[in-house]
Amino acid sequence: MSDAVLEKARAWLAQDPDGETRTELREIIERAESGDADAVADLEDRFGARLQFGTAGLRGALGAGSNRMNRVLVAQAAAGLAAYVLEKADPDAAEPPLVVIGYDGRRNSDVFARDSAELFTGAGLRAVILPRKLPTPVLAFAVRELGAAAGVMVTASHNPPDDNGYKVYLGGQDEGAQIVPPADAEISAHIERVAAEGDITSLPRSVAFELAPESLVEAYIAATAAVAPAPAGAEGLTWVYTAMHGVGWETFSRILDVAGYPQPTTVTAQLEPDGTFPTVAFPNPEEPGAMDLAFETAREAGAELIIANDPDADRLAVAVPDESADGGWRRLTGNQVGLLLGWRAARLAADSGDVEGASLACSLVSSPGLEVVARHYGLDFHATLTGFKWISRAPGLVFGYEEALGYLVNPETVRDKDGISAAVALLGMAAEARGRGATVSDLLDEFDATFGFFASDQVSVRVDDLSVIGRIMGALRAEHPSSIGDVEVERVDDLLEGSDGVPPADVLRYTLVDGSRLIVRPSGTEPKVKLYLDARGESAEDAGARVAALAAGVRSLLDELT
C-alpha cells in the first residue's frame, strides 16, 4: 500500500466530524495496516482519487474518503463555494451575498445542508435553509424568489440509494440556473485550495443562519398551480401518483388543491420520503420494475393515467393504459411527453400572439420533432448540449426538455427541470382531452397527425474500464462509418469542434440519407457510451421500422468496435 494513501486516510480520519464514517475508516485503516488486501484496495479506491466538482456539482456514493460523499468533502465544497461567491460579490453592497440551501430525503441530506449553512454563515455570507425536505424545483425557485447569489440542493436525484450529491445554482445574471463553465472550474479551484489547506475543523462556522419562511413554499405552490388551473374535464379524472420514496408528494398534493384537480390514488408504499428506497432496486422511473407498484395500483383503481416523480421531483414519468403492453400499462418515453408539452407551450404562445423571439429548446439528443412544432407555430428553436444548465439558457425560452424525463414548462418561475410543474401541465392536457372524450393516447395520435411520425430509441454500452469509452469515440473519429446498417451516412458533425452555436463537446452526430439520425456521446454520470437514434416515417409503423433497422445497424457497428 502506498504510504501517501495511508497518510491521506489518517489525515482524513483526524478531521472527520461524523462518528459513523470515522468508525468505518478506522476499521479499514487497521485492516490495511495488518496486510488485508481487500482493505488496501478499498483505501486506494477511497483516497486514490477525488470526487470532481463539475457542472453537475458533486455526486457519488456515501462513505469515508475523498472519492466519496461525506461531511469532510461537503465542508470543503461549501467553503470553496463561499469563497467563490464572496470573490464575485459587489464590494460596495450593503448586505452580504445570500445563499439558499435545500435538501431531500436521502441519507445525510439534512446533515450536509446544515453543515453548509453553518459554513456559509461562518464565511460571512447570509445563509437561508429551506424549512424541511423539499423538491429540487423549490430550491431552484427560491434562488430567484429570494434574489440569492447562489443556491445548493443536497440530492442525488434518481441515483442509487447509497449515493448523495451537491448541486449548485447561481443567481444574478444566471437567473437561478445550474452552473456552467467557467464557473464550475472556478468553484472547483476554490474547493481544491480548501482541501489542500487541510483540516476542516479550522473553518469558521456559525449557527446564525436563517430558516426560510413557509410563505416561500406557498409562493412556489401558487406559481406552479397557475401553470394549468384545472379545466372542466378534470372533474372525475381518476389517476395514480407515486413519489418513488421521494419528497414530491407533500408539495404536489397542495398544488393539486390550489389548481383544482382531484386527488389521485397514491402508491402508499412509495409516498413518503425514505432514503433506503425499499420497494425499488433503482429509484428511477425509467428503470425496469420501478413503476410496477404504480401499474398494480392503477389496475386496481381503474385509473386513466399514472404520474410519477423521481425522488427529488425534478423529473416526470407518465404511463397510459395499453392492452398490448405487459400488465396493461405503458410508460411514455421522455420524447413523447416532451413533444406533447412542447406542443402545448407552442399553442399557448401562438394563442397569446407573443411568438416574436419566443423559442422551444431541447437537448440535441432529444427528438427532432420539437423543431417541427416550433416552426409550425412560428417560434424559434434551439438544440443545446445535454442538461438543463444549457437548455434553461436558450434565448426566449417558453419550454424546454430532454429525453431523460426532464421538462421545463415555467421558465419565468424555475430555470431548471421541474417534475411537479410538468405534472400539472400534463394533467391540464389530460383533463382538456377528457372533456371532449379523448385520452392522452389520443393526444399522441393527434400530434402524429399534425406534425408527422417520429420514433426514437437508445442503445447503451456499459464499460468496466473507462478507457474503453475513449477508444470507441476515437475509433469512430478515426474512421467514420459510411453507412449504418443498409443506410448511407450523408453528414457527420463532430461537436468537439463546436457546431451550430453549441459549445465544443465529445459528441458525434450522423445524419443518414433517409433523414434518420444517430448521436453518440459518453454519459456524463455513468460509465457508458450512449447512442441516440431518431427516425421519421410516413406512419407510426414506418417510423418504428426505420428506427429498429437503425438500432440493428448500430449494434453491428458496436460489435466491430468492441
Boundaries of every domain in the chain:
1-48, 69-212, 223-451, 453-561
Q: Tell me how far apart the alpha carbons of residues 430 and 23 are, in angstroms, rounded to a whole number.
A: 53
Beta-sheet pairing, 265-266 with 305-309:
unpaired
- In the residue annotation, 157 being an active-site residue is answered as yes
Assess if CATH 3.40.120.10 describes domain 69-212: yes
Q: Does domain 223-451 have CATH number 3.40.120.10?
A: yes
Q: Are 252 and 227 in contact (CB under 8 A)?
A: no
* pLDDT value for 309: 98
Nearest-angstrom CA–CA distance, 379 and 405: 23
Is residue 201 within 8 Å of residue 227, measured between CB atoms? no
Which CATH homologous superfamily contains domain 453-561? Alpha-D-phosphohexomutase, C-terminal domain (3.30.310.50)
Residue 197, amino acid: E
State the catalytic residue, choosing from 66, 109, 157, 516.
Answer: 157
Give me the average pLDDT of each 10-residue run along the chain (562 residues): 87 96 97 94 94 88 97 98 97 95 98 98 98 98 98 95 97 95 96 94 97 98 98 94 98 98 98 97 92 97 97 98 92 97 98 94 97 98 95 97 97 97 98 96 97 95 87 93 94 85 90 96 84 96 96 92 80
- Which of 335, 353, 237 lies closest to 286, judged by CA? 335
Q: DSSP letters along 462-508, please?
A: E-SSTHHHHHHHHHHHHS--SEETTEEEEEEEEGGG-BTTBPP-S-E
Residue with cell 472547483: 188
Buried residues in 422-441 as b, exposed as e (16+ CB within 10 A) = bbbbbbbbbbbbbeeeeebb
Dihedral (CA of 440, 442, 445, 447) sign: negative
Cell numbers at 387, concatenated: 442538461
Please calculate the CA angle 399-139-62 and round it to the nearest 5 degrees: 115
Q: Identical fold at 223-451 and 453-561? A: no
Is the entire prediction scored with pTM above 0.85?
Answer: yes
